[in-house]
Amino acid sequence: MLTVNPIKRRDWLILLLILFVAAIMRFGNPGIVEFFHDDAMLSTLAQEMVNGEHFPVTGINSSVGIPNPPTSVYVMAIPFFINKNPMTAIYFVMGLNVIGVGLLWLIAHRYLGRTIALVAGLAYALSPWAILYSRKIWAQDFHTPIVLFGILLGLYGFWEINSERENRPKWLNAHEWAQAWTLPVLLFAFQIHFAAWALLPIYAAIVLVKWKNISWRAIGVSVILSILIMSPYAIGFYQTALANPDQANPDAVSTLADDNAAFSFKSIRYLSFLATGYGLETWLAPSAQDEMNQAVSPSGIWLIIGGMVLLGTSLLARKQWRPYAPLLLLWAYLPALSLIPQWAGVYPHYFIASIPALMLLAGIGVAQIAEIVPQKSLGSTIILGAFGFILLTQGMYWRGALRFVDSRDMIYPSFTTPIHYLHDVEAELSNYDDVVVLSDGMSWDLHHESVVWSVMLDDTASCVRTLVGDGYAVFPDGEFAVLQAPNMPDNAIDGLYLTDNPIFVPERSGGNGYYIHQWDSAPEWSGVPITEIEPFWFEGDVLLTGYGIGMGAIVLEWQLPEANRDLNYQWSVQPYDENGQKLGQADTTFWQGRQWCAGDRLLTWQWYDIPENATSLNVFLYQLGDAQEARYINANVLDTMGNPMNDHAEFAIER
């Protein structure tokens, strides 16, 4: 028989204590948070949505190249609507996960009992892994609270409806509305990260245990709402499949498998980490695990937490817990078990949504021990106090882990530069409207520095562009700053943008730090001399205005329009002799449309020797097609009225 436990005044005090602990752990040292590539891409899409520039029907690409659903963008649009500073979104994620701790306590208290709620709530509040995955703008970090809300709706709607079924209103009562919203809320949460889809059977576990309580009217509404929730991604996935079939191919997940073995128990190992708190160094500092363990060591007594999880799991066979067994077993273990076959790579964050279930199982185990100890009142207090001390050591460990990652320079996949160091750079750049970033990559969807600074400087700079060390040079019209990132290649662009007295902004000990070079006007180009030509106007409003040949390179001069987020050209140069004979060809990537700023002069070059007998050049801008259409889609050259004239520019070479 289902027992619903009322919440009394002292229970609210316990909840406040648990929420306070959860808030201290998640909001403490907010500047020691990563703001890396995925975080910045998601922030960009949310900013564009808030600005009305783009309504996404897909999110950022997943690790296998398949586009993620857009629900993570929709969630992040909320804090970015309030403020464009990424710290606002970080605080939002932290707050959402504090609410998640409260939801777990409510589920546990309402259906499992006061003691289990206390233990599970504190364990979840102080779990190092739960805290780690509660603090940054990363889709995996904010789906679990929504999963918890969906589970609470399901339990309330399907398991508590009996008392009101005889006097139902003509439409839906509160329990039936909860039934109607359970699946849509879960589907919304599962779309935030693909790994969460392994939890879909928990909906069946909730519904089928009390299947006689199903309201078919509510289920009808639920189906309609679920279709609406899934529609944006269905549209986006269909569009992706048409534009790039390879990107929408689910078979790509097999490329993430770690080795050739048919089975791997890595997922079980990671689940044990999440249950006990061990192994955090493998994620925070994989390149410096020994150093981290020397600086801050996990405690051997954490094994007791794992023991309580196993005890709680075994107790599900008892009659009093049997109705909850399908839900808790699927919730805690199914995602890990589903990845034992080697069909995809395995990472700890795939199992974030299982952490609350593991804490509930630990709570059941501790409650059982507290129930059977001698001198029950005193013994239970001692048991709960001892377990609370174990959890407290996890909180102390977390604070030490934060100090370690904040003080020692590490590179990805270790804990990347904390955001408070980036804010120091942002403060130095706040007076500049134009910024050029020098880094080792300039692709928005591939390289960290290229996307991070456009988000960090969104409130202060009208244009932020990123250059690699060779092949491109941009000349803004007016005053600008150059940010030399720690990963800038040596002597990038022959030192064109470097000054003698840059501002230095340090990062963690051992890191190269950032340098800021200030320019009142664009530097003079000292490379191959540029010959001006009558401009060619390409589709996309890109003007070809000049060229240079020499030093083993071909240089083209361009004038750029405003940013175009969806336009990524390649460029090709093809020399011809006086008889019209093609003498060769060189192709490379043009500057991504996201990097363009209106009025910028751009130089692009390839290290390619133009033959001495070449008398003319053909220049193409083109996009890469796919199997459904032409492999190469040339951009037309337009006349003064905007009508297509040719698919390339052609001009004579002056020797």
Strands 480-484 and 434-438: parallel
Question: Which residues are CB-contacts of 169 (< 8 A; sequence separation ≥ 6)?
Answer: none
- What single letter denotes the amino acid at residue 363? G
Distance, in Å, from the CA atom of 160 to the CA atom of 163, rounded to the nearest integer, reads 7
Q: Confirm if 556 and 574 have CB atoms less than 8 A apart.
A: no
CA distances in angstroms from 557 to 297, 545, 585, listed in the order given: 57, 5, 18
The position carrying tokens 């999880």 is 309
DSSP assignment, residue 368?
H
> How many residues in the chain?
655
Closest listed residue to residue 618, CA positions, set 580, 579, 588: 580
Question: Which residues are CB-contacts of 560 (< 8 A; sequence separation ≥ 6)?
Answer: 542, 543, 591, 596, 597, 598, 599, 600, 601, 602
Buried-exposed string 60-80: b where 16+ CB fall within 10 A, e elsewhere: bbbebebbbbbbbbbbbbebb
3-state secondary structure of 504: strand
Residue 365, CB half-sphere, CA atoms under 13 Å: how many? 19
Q: What is the overall mean pLDDT for the chain?
A: 93
Res 487 pLDDT > 60: yes
Question: What does the block give as tokens for 515?
Answer: 């340098």
Res 626 pLDDT > 80: no
Res 164 pLDDT > 70: no
* Region 572-583 average pLDDT: 96
Predicted pLDDT of residue 625: 75
Q: Confirm if 429 and 480 have CB atoms less than 8 A apart.
A: no
Number of neighbouring beta carbons within 10 Å of residue 544 = 21
Highest average pLDDT, of 57-66, 251-260, 479-488, comes from: 479-488
Closest listed residue to residue 283, CA positions, set 409, 135, 129, 418: 129
Share of the chain above pLDDT 90, in %: 86
CA distances in angstroms from 88 to 39, 131, 187, 298, 593, listed in the order given: 13, 18, 26, 32, 28
Predicted pLDDT of residue 28: 96
The position carrying tokens 């029950």 is 376
Question: Which residues are CB-contacts of 290 (< 8 A; sequence separation ≥ 6)?
Answer: none
Q: What is the CA radius of gyration of the chain?
A: 29
Q: CA dihedral defined by 12, 18, 23, 25, rounded to 10 degrees?
A: 170
Alpha helix ranges (H) inside 316-354: 325-338
DSSP assignment, residue 8?
-
The position carrying tokens 């690409």 is 61
Res 629 pLDDT > 80: no
Distance, in Å, from the CA atom of 190 to the CA atom of 199, rounded to the nearest integer, reads 8
* Region 492-499 average pLDDT: 96
Distance, in Å, from the CA atom of 138 to the CA atom of 63, rounded to the nearest integer, reads 13
3-state secondary structure of 586: strand
Question: What does the block give as tokens for 310?
Answer: 């196993």
Closest listed residue to residue 417, CA positions, set 90, 34, 31: 34
Question: Which residues are CB-contacts of 643 (< 8 A; sequence separation ≥ 6)?
Answer: none
Q: Confirm if 130 and 275 have CB atoms less than 8 A apart.
A: no
Share of the chain above pLDDT 70, in %: 95
Residue 128, judged by CB atoms within 10 A of its CB (0-12, 13-18, 19+), counts as buried
Question: Which residues are CB-contacts of 421 (< 8 A; sequence separation ≥ 6)?
Answer: 505, 506, 507, 508
Predicted pLDDT of residue 257: 54
Closest listed residue to residue 310, CA positions, set 280, 332, 343, 330: 332
Buried-exposed string 166-178: b where 16+ CB fall within 10 A, e elsewhere: eeeeeebbebbbb
Confidence of residue 195 (pLDDT cuts 50, 70, 90): confident
Closest listed residue to residue 343, CA positions, set 250, 418, 270, 408: 250
Predicted pLDDT of residue 167: 57
Confidence of residue 493 (pLDDT cuts 50, 70, 90): very high
Q: Confirm if 194 and 68 have CB atoms less than 8 A apart.
A: yes
Peptide bond into 413 cis (omega under 30): yes
Q: Which of 173-177, 331-335, 376-380, 427-431 has the lowest mean pLDDT?
A: 376-380
Res 365 pLDDT > 80: yes
3-state secondary structure of 218: helix
Question: What does the block give as tokens for 294?
Answer: 């020397």
Give the pLDDT confidence of 259-305 residue by residue, as tens digits.
Answer: 566 788 999 999 999 999 999 999 999 999 999 999 999 999 999 99
Q: What is the value of pTM for the model shown?
A: 0.94
Give the pLDDT confidence of 17-61 residue by residue, as tens digits.
Answer: 999 999 999 999 999 999 999 999 999 999 999 999 999 999 998
Give the pLDDT confidence of 605-621 residue by residue, as tens digits.
Answer: 999 999 999 999 999 99
DSSP assignment, residue 509?
B
Distance, in Å, from the CA atom of 624 to the CA atom of 568, rounded to the nearest integer, reads 9
Sign of the CA dihedral with 280 first, then 284, 285, and 286 last? positive
DSSP bridge partners of 638: 537, 644
Res 166 pLDDT > 70: no
* Region 519-525 average pLDDT: 96
Give the pLDDT confidence of 92-112 residue by residue, as tens digits.
Answer: 999 999 999 999 999 999 999
Predicted pLDDT of residue 252: 54
